[in-house]
């Protein structure tokens, strides 16, 4: 079996990163995203999912679409968020998120020239 390759990876990554992190809400029922309408036009904080803390220090920057935690130092984009919280590989996370956002993955056919060589 050849390694599966996503042909349009660049496009898929851009497509995923176009979405703000709070849109992942349905995938993270355990995370208390703010309920207030309009809050997503501002930076917002949640309790760090990795630490027991009383005051939220896990910040989403609405402008840059990045998160950073002032308690544990974790930071990144929407894909990093999924990777870290679901404990998945980057590749598995990209596939899952592409599905979630209905972004089409174009798979490269198995590379027969290499794998069929004997």
Smallest gap from residue 85 Cβ to Zn ion (A): 11
Q: Which residues bind Zn ion (CB under 5 A)?
A: 48, 50, 69, 71-72
Smallest gap from residue 99 Cβ to Zn ion (A): 27
Identify any residues that bridge with 46 across adjacent strands, giving them in sequence order.
58
Number of Cα atoms under 13 Å in the Cβ half of residue 79: 16
Shorter beta-carbon distance to Zn ion: residue 69 or 103:
69
Shorter beta-carbon distance to Zn ion: residue 16 or 81:
81
Identify any residues that bridge with 67 across adjacent strands, giving them in sequence order.
60, 76
Smallest gap from residue 74 Cβ to Zn ion (A): 5
**Alpha-carbon gap, residue 106 to 75, rounded angstroms:** 29
């Amino acid at each position: 079996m050849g390694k599966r390759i996503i042909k349009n990876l660049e496009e898929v990554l851009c497509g995923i990163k176009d979405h703000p992190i709070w849109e992942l809400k349905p995938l993270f029922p355990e995370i208390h995203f703010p309920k207030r309408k309009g809050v997503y036009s501002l930076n917002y904080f949640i309790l760090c999912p990795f630490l027991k803390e009383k005051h939220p220090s896990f910040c989403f920057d609405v402008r840059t679409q990045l998160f950073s935690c002032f308690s544990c130092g974790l930071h990144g984009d929407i894909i990093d968020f999924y990777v870290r919280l679901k404990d998945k590989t980057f590749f598995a996370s990209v596939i899952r998120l592409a599905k979630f956002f209905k972004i089409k993955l174009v798979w490269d056919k198995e590379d027969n020239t290499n794998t069929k060589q004997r």
